[in-house]
A = this chain, B = another copy of it.
Amino acid sequence: MNSLVEENYLKAMFTLSNDSGEVNVNDLSKHLDIKMPSVTSMMKKLASKNLVHYESYKPLRLSKNGKKEAALIIRKHRLTEMFLVEKMGFGWEQVHEIAEQVEHIKSPDFFAKMDKLLDYPQFDPHGSPIPDQNGNIVWKEYSKLSECQQGDSVKMAAVINSSDEFLKFLNSREIHLGLKMKIEFVEQFDNTMIVSYDKRSSESLSSKVCERLLVEKE
């Protein structure tokens, strides 16, 4: 059984891993707001538990097992977020903090019940995939809105790096998952997009916003 602290390291490593599965001590340190020497010593501990591959001065990698453990924590996090939104009436901008705590609860029954009550959801309220009971994740290939063309019709699929403020911004524009929008115009100078959708006919979205929105092309 891993401690709460160990779980947080595993989760952070999972999130920060690049495509070859590598993480730096420095990035991990910044992400967790824990100094580098503490990270190093935890890496040694996790290595001794076969959750991490560790060699001095080399990039860190989660072991197969570590990856699974991490995915299962993320599963609990995302199931919780979905439960908070769907069954308890929270807004998608309110659930991260709570899920951050609930994800550490040790009770398979508790999460199995959530899963069932939600009818085995595939995605969380921000469009991120929920890993299955074995820790496997199905990634859908979405496009960044910023990569779409003028004239494209798209459907909102997920938000990247969903922070409180960003989600509140989206709320204020009445943008939510599943929303269909049309790209009316792309400003060449700064890549600002003018989009229209049911409730708004010419909303302007900065490139910073468009890079954080994942969409499905229609």
Contact = CB atoms under 8 A, between A and B. Distances in A.
A164 to B, nearest CB: 13
Contact of A109 (B87, B94, B105, B110): B94
A105 B102 contact: yes
A89 B107 CA distance: 15
A106 interface: yes
A117 to B, nearest CB: 7
B117 A109 contact: no
A50 interface: no
A105 B113 contact: no
A98 interface: yes
B113 A109 contact: no
Nearest to A89: B113
A106 B101 contact: yes
Nearest to A90: B113
Contacts of A89: 113, 117
A106 B89 CA distance: 18
Interface of A: 87-90, 94, 97-98, 101-102, 105-107, 109-110, 113-114, 117
